[in-house]
Chain A
């Protein structure tokens, strides 16, 4: 790109319209246009490609007579390495993922949205800058480190305060996951609130309403799309997060009956077992099928979110 001819300046006085652009500029523009097209479509190609690959690895399991999809989805028995009685039921892990994600969101959404409201509406500019930097730092902590915190600090605290026999459980994973999701929810939520024009604030306040009424009746409705996106990104993180929950939830295949029960999540199961499953074995294929299931779950969440947002827009 460096040996292109220098652009010759248009002769003084010539009408801009009459200037013919050099050939390289026109060709270059076509190439750039094409590149941008490719970039746009690449997202679709990658998503389809990943899905196709995971599906291809998983599909042969359906040819096995011993495998049944109902058992896979609705049985809580997971004995992939048993000699006599192999069972591939991931229901307990679906429940585990669901429980940890729900708990995490129950903690993270109020905190995250609350913090976003505080940052955008209540705190001064200096404090806001400081807090934003710290919150971004929080988002940058690797998930393994969060796992450590769950495994050592949090589990001890949980055992101490709840008297539970083990500290690695739904509560632990939920809190760790919540701490990981809060920064995302805060920064996207704050952007959404900041995007509400100041004229709304002034117009509403000039009508003699209090700050809380302004937030509840004007700002939250006006920013609801962005806030919903923030929450759903948090949910996406909850469903998809692997390492931290692997370390913090106890990794026991078990349908939880209380937040103090240990569970295993879908993601943690794949991460822990894929390395030991012989390539091409049933176990290996079922793990890939779990991947397909995860993919479908997150796709479903995104789709619902999209539909909800569209529904809101239509009104």
Chain B
């Protein structure tokens, strides 16, 4: 497969008020890869994702400079921020089940985009729930509240919801912190399947998770890129930067 750049970030800076948290980083994400982002707390991983789909706009007094291009289109100059957000599926660390039924949770985004016929919605709901490995557990109770599901099921529901508008990019922000290891492994299998269809950005605290899944991994620390490399290099014996080695080996972080 030819290497094709999907997302191109150039000299991105982000400041909350006067406090700069991302200090001019540049990297690119290739189409169809799983791009891991690791780094300790406060290293601006979540802020970076929020810049991607511009949910950063909701936080008052933020200043963004530099550019983020998806398919060559600058996200900050895009005509429709809603279309941009539909291109990017976002999964938050703690599952946020909207106070709707399971069916309505998944059908939410397509409905808001104007799709209202049940005959069109039902296949989408089923496909997304299957992709998120949740269909078998909930197919008999699609009309019960999504918030009644267990934590792991809810997280898969948010993944199904993120898939419902057929995003080109799926961003997962530490999706496994609230769920058990077995469910985590199931979702990881799901991600391996999805890789064929979309680009996945995986932010994770678990360095081993990035090692298992990511094609390439970026080590972010305090808003700077320490190192970007293939999984072999980052998790190997001699990454370029000593700090990467220390972090991955659990010596600091």
Chain A residues with CB under 8 Å of chain B are 197, 199-210, 213, 217-218, 221-222
Identify 12 residue pairs between A and B in the complex whose beta-carbon atoms are under 8 Å apart, listed by A's number: A197-B96, A199-B96, A200-B96, A200-B98, A200-B99, A203-B158, A208-B82, A208-B84, A208-B109, A208-B113, A217-B100, A222-B98
Instruction: Tell me how many residue pairs across A and B have CB atoms closer than 8 Å.
Output: 63
Bound CA–CA A207/B171 (angstroms): 12
With a 10 A CB-CB cut-off, give which of A200, A209, A213 has the most chain B CB atoms.
Answer: A209
Name A's interface SS: helix
B85 at the interface (CB under 8 A from A): yes
Contacts A203-B98, A217-B112 hold; do A209 and B158 have CB atoms under 8 A apart?
A: no
Per-position contact with A for B98-138: 1 when CB-CB < 8 Å, else 0? 11100000001101110000000000000000000000000
A208 touches B86 (CB 8 A): yes
Known: A199-B94, A199-B96, A200-B98. A205 touches B58 (CB 8 A): yes
CA distance A203 to B157 in the complex (A): 12
B53 interfacial contact with A, CB 8 Å:
yes
Q: Do residues B92 and A203 form an inter-chain contact, with CB atoms below 8 A?
A: yes
Partner of B96, one of A203, A213, A221: A203
B positions within 8 Å CB-CB of A = 53, 55, 58, 82-86, 88, 90, 92, 94, 96, 98-100, 108-109, 111-113, 158, 161-162, 164-165
Q: Are A207 and B85 in contact (CB under 8 A)?
A: yes
Known: A199-B92, A199-B94, A222-B99. Contact between A205 and B55, CB under 8 A?
yes
Contact (A204, B99) CB under 8 Å given A199-B94, A209-B82, A210-B82: no
Q: Would A207 and B165 count as touching, CB distance under 8 A?
A: yes
Q: How far is the CB of A315 from chain B (nearest CB, A)?
A: 8
Question: Which chain A residues border B158 with CB–CB below 8 Å?
Answer: 203
Q: Is the CB of A202 within 8 A of B84?
A: no
A221 surroundings in chain B (CB, below 8 A): 99-100
C-alpha gap A203/B111 in the complex (Å): 15
Does B92 contact A218, Cβ atoms closer than 8 Å?
no
- For the complex of A and B, 10 pairs with smallest distance between CB atoms: A208-B85, A208-B86, A203-B96, A209-B112, A207-B109, A206-B90, A213-B112, A199-B96, A208-B82, A222-B99
Residues of A within 8 A of B112 (CB): 207-210, 213, 217
Chain B residue nearest to A206 (CB atoms) is B90
**Would you give the shortest CB distance from B54 to chain A, in whole angstroms?**
9
Chain A, residue nearest B83 (CB): A208
Q: A206 contacts B98, CB within 8 Å?
A: no
Is A207 touching B84 in the complex (CB atoms < 8 A)?
A: no
Of all chain A residues, the one with the shortest Cβ separation from B104 is: A217
CB neighbours of A206 from chain B (8 A)? 53, 55, 85, 88, 90
